[in-house]
Amino acid sequence: MRSVRSAPAPVTRRSSPPGPGSLTPTQRRLGRDWRLAALFLTPTAVLVGVLVLVPIVQSIITSTTERHGADNVFVGLDNYAALPGDGQFRAGVVNSFVFTAYAEVFKVVLGLAAALLLHQLRRGRALVTGLLLVPWVVPTVVTAFSWRSLLDPIFGSVNTLLTASGIGPLLASAHLVDSWPAGWLSDPSLAMPSVILVNVWKGVPFFTVCFLAGLKAIPADQYEAATIDGASAWQRFAHVTLPGLRHVMTVTVTLSSIWTFNNFDLIWLLTQGGPGNATAPYVLVAYSKAILQLQYGAGAAVTLVMLPVIAGLVFILVRALRADAGTKSAGRARKALPWVVAATVAILLAWASPQIFWKAAVVLGVILLIAAAVGRVVSGLQAKGGRRASSLVSGAGSGVALAGLLAFVLGPVYWIAVTAFKSEGQVVTREHDLWPTPWTLEQFGALFTNQPFGRWYLNTVLVSTASTAVALVCAVLGGYALARLRFRGAQGFTVTVLLTYVMPGALLFIPLYQLLIGVRLTDSMWSLVLTYPTFTLPFATWLLSGYFASIPAELEEAALVDGCTRVQAFRRVVLPLAKPGLLAVALFTLTNAWNEFLFAFVFITKDEYKTLPVGMQSMIAGDVVPQGQLAAASLLVSIPVVVMYAFGQRFLTEGLTAGAVKG
């Protein structure tokens, strides 16, 4: 131990930043740790540069060309100039806006309600939270096929249950649907609301978890002070809860809006943009022009023309909501901004989709009226001194609301599970719809006999594992460099990583497709292994950078004093302590790769190379939908993800919490 303590002076000085005089001219220009930073950041920089930045530049160049035969001819800005007169593009932009705006409104309302219910729950909170996470965990392809079957006008259980309960005819008499039984995905007036409903079902768990974390961070003494001052439940909600959740709401809504606005897989799997163009978003328009019509320039123009709009709106929204009010008038403006934004969005929605607007207003109005009525009753009982009665009413209302929420969340999942074990006769004749009689493995046997399902499963495992390994290794090195090393350009590199994190896949699939054609890697699993880091690596790097920053630097300094090099301290001290963050990142990247649809759908056409989401989509031939086999496939696809989340929940929570706070 004595020999370790008597390490050379340069090693000892590494425990604290050297003074300006001890740095070489190169270190003063590029930063103290520029050599190690260059070594650690090179893999991430190469992947981000080759797979994200270069394709974006290539997409800009492609958007100025037009295909004539086998050649691409330079046409300048003609593709952009043609967009305002393109009815398909205009419809796609409106559809994307309508889809995103309505979905975000309902996800905020339902997610906040669910978070408030869980926050007040004394027993079983972890179990209920885990159940609510199921829609977020299951793959998108499973979500689409389960809801597509449930909403089938003839064989779907939704129409059957609504008819049996008398709600269906009531909806028709209230003109919420045009006729009964309703064609949820085939009726132009119902297709968009139905797609929004499915997206809300998928996204509410994400909002619930984020809002629940925000509620836990609000100090309890703020509620106590408000109660002492005589504030009612509504006043505490308006003046304590909402301001306390402002930051969480901003981040959650911003990220979710970007994802929703650029959604392709869910809409494609549900309706393929139909009927007509009733649900076709702008991403599907770009896919149609570039992949189906081979007009790469027009398709690239569609994606690029929307990017500045999204970036500008996100920048203005985040800066405005985060800005600290320096004056009283600025404070008033900040408080008024959300209402101005809400009013503007409402006016645009009423203009763009009047049929959906009043239906959504009725549904939201009913939800808010019920919540307000229960809150008023509870407040009235409390004012009269009936604490026990108010607790009973509040508990009963919360129980009913929680039961309804769980039924909404778990209903489609239950349908998948029971349908997978029905015989083909039960599926077709609708016998024993809610409980298989008898239980059978017929659908699983037919799945492996009629489809190359085993091949798809193996492809998905190989691609997901390989892409996760690549992303994890690069993210570990890059995240540590951004969190610990001092070098010039660190902030710029961090901003680049964050920008590529929110970069829509719609912007990349066209240039990446051209790139893969050029190197002859289409219809190859290598095309997926190489391109999946475009959406897994930026998130992994950002999260691990935050997690590494949360580890006390003194531990590394002690290792440096004991004679370790920076690399040895990283390997022996930092990596073991970062295990929760590493597991959280591995879980997220593996899940994203497991569920990915757009790239696999565009780059792979041969059955032997398809992954599970694309393979399951190919099982549908026209109007022939093998519901039983799809349910069996959905169950087999979901089980690994659910099991991973169940066993990794503790590490996931710890890793995300530390990474999110610092990142």
- pLDDT, position 237: 82
- pLDDT, position 354: 78
C-beta of residue 445 within 8 angstroms of C-beta of residue 466: no
The answer to pTM > 0.85 is no
Kindly state the average pLDDT of the residues 472-491.
86
- Residue 335, class by beta-carbon neighbours within 10 Å (0-12 exposed, 13-18 middle, 19+ buried)? exposed
| Start-to-end CA span in the chain (Å) | 38
- pLDDT, position 652: 57
Tens digit of each residue's pLDDT (9 = 90 or more) over 68-117: 766 778 888 899 999 999 899 999 999 999 999 899 988 998 888 888 88
- pLDDT, position 653: 53
- pLDDT, position 547: 82
C-beta of residue 63 within 8 angstroms of C-beta of residue 79: yes
- pLDDT, position 310: 66
142/369: higher pLDDT: 142
Which residues does residue 621 pair with via DSSP β-bridges, in sequence order?
Answer: 624
Tens digit of each residue's pLDDT (9 = 90 or more) over 41-79: 899 888 888 888 888 888 889 899 887 766 778 888 899
- pLDDT, position 457: 92
Kindly state the average pLDDT of the residues 309-319.
61
Tens digit of each residue's pLDDT (9 = 90 or more) over 504-559: 677 788 888 888 888 888 888 889 998 888 888 887 887 888 788 888 888 888 88
Lowest mean pLDDT among 22-31, 575-584, 654-663: 654-663
C-beta of residue 528 within 8 angstroms of C-beta of residue 463: yes
Measured in whole angstroms, how far is the alpha carbon of residue 568 from the centre of its chain? Answer: 36
- pLDDT, position 426: 84
- pLDDT, position 4: 36
Label residue 351 by pLDDT band (50, 70, 90).
confident
Q: Phi/psi of residue 624, each to 5°?
A: -90, 110
SS (H, E, C) 331-343: HHHHHHHHHHHHH
Mean of pLDDT over the chain: 79
C-beta of residue 88 within 8 angstroms of C-beta of residue 106: no
pLDDT above 90 (res 602): no
- Residue 225 sits at the vertex; the CA angle it makes with 220 and 227, to the nearest 5 degrees, is 95
Q: Phi/psi of residue 241, each to 5°?
A: -65, -55
Label residue 201 by pLDDT band (50, 70, 90).
very high
Amino acid code (one letter) for 317? L
Kindly state the average pLDDT of the residues 570-592.
85
* 3-class DSSP state of 441: coil
Kindly state the average pLDDT of the residues 472-492.
86
- pLDDT, position 2: 36
Percent with pLDDT over 90 in the chain: 11
What is the distance between the alpha carbons of residues 524 and 513, in angstroms, rounded to a whole number?
12
Lowest mean pLDDT among 253-262, 397-406, 515-524: 397-406
- pLDDT, position 198: 94
pLDDT above 60 (res 140): yes
Tens digit of each residue's pLDDT (9 = 90 or more) over 555-572: 888 888 888 888 888 888
C-beta of residue 223 within 8 angstroms of C-beta of residue 240: yes
pLDDT above 50 (res 15): no
- pLDDT, position 5: 36
Amino acid code (one letter) for 264? F
Q: Where are the alpha helices (DSSP H) in 121-264?
A: 125-132, 134-137, 140-150, 157-165, 167-173, 188-217, 220-228, 233-236, 242-244, 246-261
Lowest mean pLDDT among 18-32, 469-483, 648-662: 648-662
What is the distance between the alpha carbons of residues 89 and 95, in angstroms, rounded to a whole number?
10
Lowest mean pLDDT among 274-278, 319-323, 407-411: 319-323
- pLDDT, position 611: 92
Among the listed residues 174, 194, 357, 190, the one whose alpha carbon sits nearest the alpha carbon of residue 270? 194
Tens digit of each residue's pLDDT (9 = 90 or more) over 426-481: 887 777 777 888 889 999 999 999 889 999 999 999 999 999 999 999 999 988 98
Contacts of residue 460, defined as CB under 8 A and 6 or more positions apart, other chains included, come to 594, 611, 612
Kindly state the average pLDDT of the residues 366-372.
71
19/592: higher pLDDT: 592
**The dihedral of CA 410, 412, 415, 420: what is its sign?**
negative
pLDDT above 90 (res 199): yes
Label residue 654 by pLDDT band (50, 70, 90).
low
Lowest mean pLDDT among 298-302, 475-479, 649-653: 649-653
What is the distance between the alpha carbons of residues 658 and 549, in angstroms, rounded to a whole number?
9
453-484 helix and 533-550 helix, angle to the nearest 10 degrees: 40
